Amino acid sequence: MNIIKKILMLMMISIMLICVGCDNQGNTGGDGEVVDNPKQENKQEVLTEPENKEPGLPPNPPPKSKDNQKNNEVRKQQEMKIKVYYPDESGLRLIGVNREIKVSDNDDKYKAAVEAVMTPPTEKNLTSVIPNNSPLLSVKVKDGTAIVDLDKKIKNGFVGGSTGEEFLIGSVVNTLTEFNEVKSVRFLIDGKEVETLAGHMDLSEPIKRMDNLMKN
């Protein structure tokens, strides 16, 4: 009986040692190093991965703010100094004065220049013969000729005589021919060619620079 008890005790001790060894091996890697729970590690990786993100795509750029868009629009506009011609108060000659205009591209400068002519001068010794509320439809330059399209209100509202008509046309022509690429100016009314504005000047052909109006 003692022998049997000893054999049973040895068998129980052996089984316990085997169980302890299996448990330790389950918590170690192949080289005996203890590793974290793989399920827990995968869970942390999933949490750090961005949601709804397709692999291989670059991150989305931050949206542009309204301030940045406004600054870009402001940077596109450029200030330009031009010379604008007005008749003097005595109606004897045209006098050139400096003005600053803002343009966003090369074509805008021509229209801005004519709009400056149509704006009454601030200088006391100068005047304007262009009727108020006379819209400017467009100004285009082609082959050295500026084509100025005016609204019919400028024709209906003009009350000057031959001198006034000459200075009105001359102020626009001499202002536009300040640009080196403009050699002459053609006038349209509502997109149509006209022979004259008020019956005194021939506008059927482009008008070249009128330097005679700037002499004393």
- List, for residues 88-102, the tens digit of each pLDDT value: 988 889 999 999 998
Of 48-62, 94-108, 119-133, the least confident: 48-62
Q: The pTM is what?
A: 0.65
Task: Check whether 155 has a pLDDT greater than 60.
Answer: yes
Could you tell me if 89 and 126 are in contact, meaning their C-beta atoms sit under 8 angstroms apart?
A: yes
Average pLDDT over residues 151-163: 85
Q: What is the DSSP secondary structure assignment for residue 213, as one 8-state letter?
A: G
What integer pLDDT is reported at residue 15 of this predicted model? 76
Match 């399209």 to its residue by tokens.
149
The 10s digit of each residue's pLDDT in 106-116 is 668 999 999 99
pLDDT at 76 > cutoff 50: yes
Q: Which two tokens stand for residue 21?
A: 């060894």
Which pLDDT score is estimated for 123?
93
Question: Of 59 and 82, which is predicted with more confidence?
Answer: 82
Say what the pLDDT of residue 158 is.
81
- Asked whether the predicted pLDDT for residue 196 surpasses 80, the reply is yes
Residues 6 or more apart whose Cβ sits within 8 Å of residue 158: 129, 131, 164, 165, 168, 197, 198
**pLDDT for the residue numbered 187:** 96
